């Protein structure tokens, strides 16, 4: 039940963010600040929740290989979406929206295996912070292209369902995997999350809010550290 509740709340943030972007007011600087804040939170959560357990208990070399593989995989997919498939077509647009969220939600599902509510508070809270401004900014940009508000909202609802499915897959289909291998899977997801931050989140936030980005990232990092401390 906890798994379902957390997944619904985190993925539901996409729908709330989309409604905010379509019908509410969101300045460019505010969007940039929120994106940077969520990036800082997600960075520290990826390190502490996904990567550190393997560094502590698994083979260092295999751990580093898993992280690198995750980063390379995300980078290749990001390249295909933007340079080959294009983000203007329906399939390309949907792929571009979901690409960032799949590693995060898959990682969330994996992290929930055998964990209590407080132990996953940092990761789920960070993804929640990430999804809100991402959806708000994305839906705002779509609205500028004269797309139907109803179609935009339906697209984000569909995206939320897809990302929820990723979290469910991560949780239920990997529940019986040995802890050693599970740690490597988490590292793969962690590498993908870090790559997404470097390629998507931080460049976007700096472009929109410039030098306040550093402050926002630090605030996000502090929030994630605090949430993580609740699970100790």
- Cβ-based neighbour number of residue 1 at 10 Å: 5
Task: Retrieve residue 101's tokens.
Answer: 């969220």
Q: Which of 217, 225, 224 is closest to 201 using CA atoms?
A: 217
Per-residue model confidence as pLDDT tens digits over 202-225: 888 888 877 888 999 999 888 878
Please give the C-alpha separations between residue 68 and each of 39, 41, 65, 177, 187, in angstroms, as whole numbers. Answer: 19, 21, 5, 21, 9
Who's near 89: CB < 8 A, 6+ residues apart?
none
pTM for the model: 0.79
For residue 105, the SS3 value is helix
Q: Which of 40-54, 91-105, 129-143, 208-222 has the lowest mean pLDDT?
A: 91-105
What would the pLDDT profile of 114-160 be if each residue is shown by its tens digit?
665 656 666 677 777 777 877 887 787 777 767 788 888 888 888 88
Q: Are 98 and 163 in contact (CB under 8 A)?
A: yes
Residue identified by tokens 């798994």 is 3
User: Which residue bears the tokens 């929820």?
Assistant: 164
């Amino acid at each position: 039940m906890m798994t379902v509740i957390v997944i619904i709340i985190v993925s539901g943030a996409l729908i709330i963010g989309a409604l905010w972007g379509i019908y509410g007011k969101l300045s460019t600087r505010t969007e940039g600040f929120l994106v940077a804040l969520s990036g800082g939170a997600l960075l520290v959560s990826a390190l502490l929740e996904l990567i550190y357990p393997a560094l502590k208990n698994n083979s260092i070399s295999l751990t580093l290989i898993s992280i690198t593989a995750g980063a390379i995989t995300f980078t290749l997919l990001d390249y295909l979406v933007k340079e080959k498939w294009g983000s203007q077509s329906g399939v390309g647009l949907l792929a571009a929206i979901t690409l960032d969220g799949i590693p995060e939600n898959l990682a969330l599902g994996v992290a929930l295996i055998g964990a209590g509510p407080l132990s996953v508070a940092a990761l789920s809270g960070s993804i929640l912070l990430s999804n809100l401004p991402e959806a708000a900014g994305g839906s705002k940009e779509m609205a500028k292209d004269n797309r139907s508000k109803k179609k935009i909202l339906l697209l984000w609802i569909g995206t939320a369902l897809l990302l929820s499915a990723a979290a469910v897959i991560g949780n239920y289909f990997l529940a019986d995997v040995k802890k050693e291998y599970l740690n490597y899977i988490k590292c793969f997801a962690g590498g993908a999350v870090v790559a997404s931050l470097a390629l998507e989140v931080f460049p976007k936030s700096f472009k929109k809010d410039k030098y306040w980005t550093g402050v926002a990232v630090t605030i996000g990092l502090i929030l994630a550290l605090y949430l993580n401390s609740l699970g100790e």
